[in-house]
Amino acid sequence: MDILVIDDSRTVLTRLKRLVEHDGQATAAIFENPLAALDEARMRAFDLVLVDYNMPDMDGIAVIRQLRGIEHYAQVPIVMITSEVSDRVRLAALDAGATDFVDKRVGRIELKVRLRNLVRLAGAVRRLDDQASWLAGEIEKAVRTLREREAEIIFRLSLAVEYRDNDTGDHTWRVARYSQIMAEALGLDADLCRRVYLAAPLHDVGKVAIPDGVLLKPGRLDEEEFALIRTHAAIGKRILGGSTCALIGLAAEIAEAHHERWDGGGYPHGLSGTAIPLAARIVAVADVFDALTTQRPYKAAMPLDEARACIEAESGRHFDPACVAAFLSRWDEILAVSANASGRLRDIPFRIEPWARVPTLPREVPDAAAPRARHDEAA
């Protein structure tokens, strides 16, 4: 245990050092100059501080006040060693943060006992502080693990949805990354950007309730089938809604509203403008762009520049103009995501969770090569 002793008397310093080190439980660093002592305290974490009141350059009260301003010394016992007994000085020392007082005039035995008890107090405070730090670290690890597990479960659920609707799960990751890039460009805080990234892949979770005969139908949907496939937005909200988890709640908003249009012509509720949740407005751009630029059994991929022009043309009609502006402002990053998707994410220059490395999803779909309506774009 390390103890800092500050007194302008070399005799008093020597005496105090001998007493606190008597039991071999502590080591004392002694300073006659309070300014030098403060410099040392800023670099070294002492467990107990003994400070004189009457000193040149700076009195003990000023020293205590400065020590309490250093993060480590918020809870460390600081004791004033003084022969000054006036209430005014003691109150001022208490206001500055003094823990206790020791009178220089007491006998040797009493001083030895007081100092020994103070060393024990400092030891107890240190043990409590160490335990609190350990517990804080364990809690942080547990929370981090919980969040990672939560994120992995969500991502894997989204892959199950993609398995039903597309030939590859890369769509899931691309929509997530496009959405995250736009969220960052919009200036949203880092935590919200990450939640958008994690929640976006569940935008089509409601499609698990759509019969395969409709979802995977080769050819164009009739009106009844088209109405059925449009129900996936409301179904997604029913699947995810009501959760106490903020991340699931955000995913529910996205699932329900990502087919709403800025001009009010979307579904399921015909919302318009800022009545549409921001995360859903972001994902709407990402989802349509990826649908346009992805090759499917029923269509060729649209060139990236043409798809960009389509997104830009729909600003203020289908899409939130601010989201489109954010998308265009990060075009180079959008291109990087699109270009690297086929490489299974291994060359992406940003951190990707191991569980987000999308596996190949082989499927056996009858007549997979037959022409199909653009269900994902029309829906």
Facing residues of 79 across strands? 50, 100
212 DSSP 8-state letter: H
What per-residue confidence (pLDDT) applies to 331? 96
Same fold across 2-137 and 166-378: no
What per-residue confidence (pLDDT) applies to 85? 65
Buried b (16+ CB within 10 A) or exposed e, 214-247: bbbbeeebeeebeebbbbbbbbbbebbeeeeeeb
Q: Along the 379 residues of the chain, how does pLDDT read in single tens digits?
A: 888 988 888 888 888 888 888 777 788 888 888 999 899 999 988 888 888 888 888 888 999 999 999 988 888 888 888 776 678 888 888 888 888 888 777 666 767 777 777 777 777 877 887 788 888 888 988 888 887 887 778 777 877 777 776 544 578 888 999 999 999 999 999 999 999 999 998 999 998 888 888 887 777 788 898 899 899 999 999 999 998 888 899 999 999 999 999 999 999 999 999 999 999 999 999 999 998 998 765 678 899 999 999 999 999 999 999 999 999 999 999 999 988 754 333 333 334 444 444 444 444 444 444 444 445 454 5
The DSSP secondary structure of 147-172, one letter per residue, reads HHHHHHHHHHHHHHHHHHH-S-THHH
Contact, 37 vs 6, CB < 8 A?
yes
Structure-block tokens of residue 204: 């089509």
Domains of the chain by residue range: 2-137, 166-378
Q: Which among 193, 3, 174 has a CA at the least distance from the CA of 79?
A: 3
Neighbour order of strands in the sheet with 48-52: 27-31, 2-6, 48-52, 78-82, 100-103
Return the residue matching tokens 């006992």. 113
Q: Taking the C-alpha atoms of 147, 150, 151 and 156 in order, what is their torsion angle to the nearest 10 degrees?
A: 160
CATH of domain 2-137: 3.40.50.2300
What is the CATH architecture assignment of 166-378? Orthogonal Bundle (1.10)
What per-residue confidence (pLDDT) applies to 214? 84
Q: Taking the C-alpha atoms of 22, 24, 27 and 32 in order, what is their torsion angle to the nearest 10 degrees?
A: 10
The DSSP secondary structure of 12-43, one letter per residue, reads HHHHHHHHHTTTSS-EEEEES-HHHHHHHHHH
pLDDT digits (tens, 9 = 90+) for 74-111: 888 888 887 766 788 888 888 888 888 887 776 667 67
Contact, 180 vs 196, CB < 8 A?
yes
Angle of helix 190-199 relative to helix 246-257, nearest 10 degrees, comes to 60
